[in-house]
Amino acid sequence: MSNTGMTALLKDALQLEIEGWLFYRDITGTLPEGAVSDVFVYLTEQEEKHQQFIRNELSRVEAGTQLDISGLSALKEKTHDEVLADALRSSKDLSQHEASAIHTAMLLERNSWEFYHAAADKATQPDEASLYRQLEEWEKLHLRLLEKAYDLLKERIWAENRFAPF
């Protein structure tokens, strides 16, 4: 892909990461302390790391130099799905507000995942494709974390409201 095309994609990627970061940062302030809030603190931190990495790569491309994806491995994420699941199961007073926040976050992460998937398909350089594939994997990781949290929270809300799936 041309430098112009790569620059445009990296700017779009940066915008997605900023939007996610802003949402996660802002929603964290509206949630009570606990498991759900902790998920959003984690996602805020991750989106900030993604932004910085993309900014650095965007600067390199705009300066006419090659991408340097050697730092990608240092950003490897680890989720703690079971810790989250246990925390959600033991949390009291979870509400529809938390469920709505998680659902909205799922939409943001799915959108980012689809963007990075398409960007990787458009990439013409191996490092460029690797960059987008890694970002795609991170967004999928976030999405799976959120989906698990949402499913657990939804089940609790249904049980508390005596909803039955049958």
Is residue 165 in some structural domain?
no
| Domain at 86, CATH number | 1.20.1260.10
What domain count does the chain have?
Answer: 1
The confidence score (pLDDT) of residue 94 equals 62
Is residue 74 in some structural domain?
no
The confidence score (pLDDT) of residue 115 equals 95
Q: What is the pLDDT along the chain (166 residues), one digit of tens a residue?
A: 678 888 999 999 999 999 999 999 999 999 888 778 888 888 899 899 999 999 999 999 999 988 888 877 766 666 656 656 666 666 666 677 888 899 999 999 999 999 999 999 988 888 889 999 988 998 998 898 889 888 888 777 777 777 766 5
Is residue 166 in some structural domain?
no
Confidence (pTM)? 0.83
Range of the domain at 41: 3-63+79-160
Q: What is the CA radius of gyration of the chain?
A: 18
Is residue 71 in some structural domain?
no
- Where would I find the beta strands (DSSP E) of 53-165? none
Q: Could you give the C-alpha distances from 143 to 67, 122, 127, 159, in angstroms and in order?
A: 27, 23, 24, 24
Pair of tokens at residue 19: 């939007």
